Structure 1
Amino acid sequence: MASSCSRRLNPEGTWQWAKLNALQEELQPFGLVILGFPCNQFGKQEPGENSEILPTLKHVRPGGGFVPNFQLFEKGDVNGEKEQKVYTFLKNSCPPTSELLGSPNRLFWEPMKVHDIRWNFEKFLVGPDGKPIMRWYHRTTVSNVKMDILAYMRQQAALGVRGK
């Protein structure tokens, strides 16, 4: 699973960090790997250097000694001319999460496209074969994401049993 993550000045996303840690811990034995991609394109909420990301998570937001138990990549663009290729692939493989893009004065990239990431913590599920399965709106709860992942895993297990 890939997630566009940012954390500064984003109380909406703060609660997701601990929930993503819990999801990683619970489903890792079944092959789930969460990947986080910090980005500064949404409200300029990730302005610092890469070296500041983990200390800020630990001491500021969410704080309390928080350390992610999943891989965080270096900060990069998920939309626009300089978007990371993985996001070009993911966004073109799954339909957008909303018809609305958002307030242009809080979005920092050009050109804006219909498949763009709408805000921090938008998530994608990628199957073990590397094919994107689904995409979630940034406000989708991690518990709903978990239910979808479990349903996908059950479906794949059932297909594996039938295929033998």
Structure 2
Amino acid sequence: MANEFYDLSANTPQGHSVSMADYRGKVVLVVNTATQCGLTPQFAGLEKLYQEYKDQGLVVLGFPCNQFGSQEPLTNEAMEQTCLVNYGVTFPLFEKTEVNGPGTNPVFRYLKKKLGGLFGSRIKWNFTKFLIDANGRPVKRYSPVTKPEAIEGEIRRMLGGERVHI
């Protein structure tokens, strides 16, 4: 069965293309991130989720974005190092990207089309989260202020094969 999510790709901070098809069969949490935001401490919670559930099939994908208050001014390499050193981030990070406007990364263009926000599909701030099931279907969008631990129950249900009621 074809799935649009798996047709997409994004570049690592080093510029290597990664196909979303590499995550086929996994529950995926896509997040637009920033290292100098009031919500930046969420990196620790995202990493905790990743460590707790990666062996059961969860992957967290971080997409740094500088479109909100210039809160991701670092180069790709410095951003990656900052995330590792300050928050212990080991989940996959991608190169700085745009999540709104004409330069929107195709991953976010697709996710916004499938899961519009409360006030339209536009992403309002850093740490907006999109949860995608193991079949590549976008399931739920979370606001920037939703802490990673608040999503844990839903992730557990998805990994355990239970139906998620939204």
Is the structural similarity TM-score above 0.5? Answer: yes
Q: Which one of 42, 49, 52 corresponds to residue 26 of structure 1?
A: 52
Sequence identity (%): 34
Paired residues in the alignment total 136
Higher relative CO (CA 8 A, sep ≥ 6), structure 1 or 2?
Answer: 2
8 A contact 1:54–1:67 mirrored in 2: no
What is the TM-score with the length of structure 1 in the denominator?
0.76
2 CA distance for matches of 1:2 and 1:32? 11
- Give the CA deviation at 1:30: 1.3
More helix by share: 1
How do 1:38-53 and structure 2 match up within 5 A?
Answer: 38-53=64-79
Equivalent runs, 1:106-125 vs 2, <5 Å: 114-125=120-131
Q: Indicate the RMSD between aligned Cα atoms, in angstroms.
A: 1.8
Q: CA deviation at 1:15?
A: 1.9
CA contact (8 A) 1:24 1:70 kept: yes
* Matching of residues 86-97 of structure 1 within 5 Å: 86-96=107-117
Question: Structure 1 residues 158, 46: closer, same or farther in 2, change over 3 A?
Answer: closer
Query: Structure 1, unaligned stretches of length 5 or more?
Result: 100-113, 160-164
Give 3-state SS (helix, strand or coil) of 1:14's partner.
coil
TM-aligned CA distance change 1:78 to 1:153, over 3 Å: same
Specify the structure having the higher radius of gyration (Cα).
1
Deviations 1:105-138 (A, max 9, x none): xxxxxxxxx2011111110111111110111001
Q: Shift in Å at residue 68 of structure 1?
A: 0.7
The alignment partner of 1:53 has SS state of helix
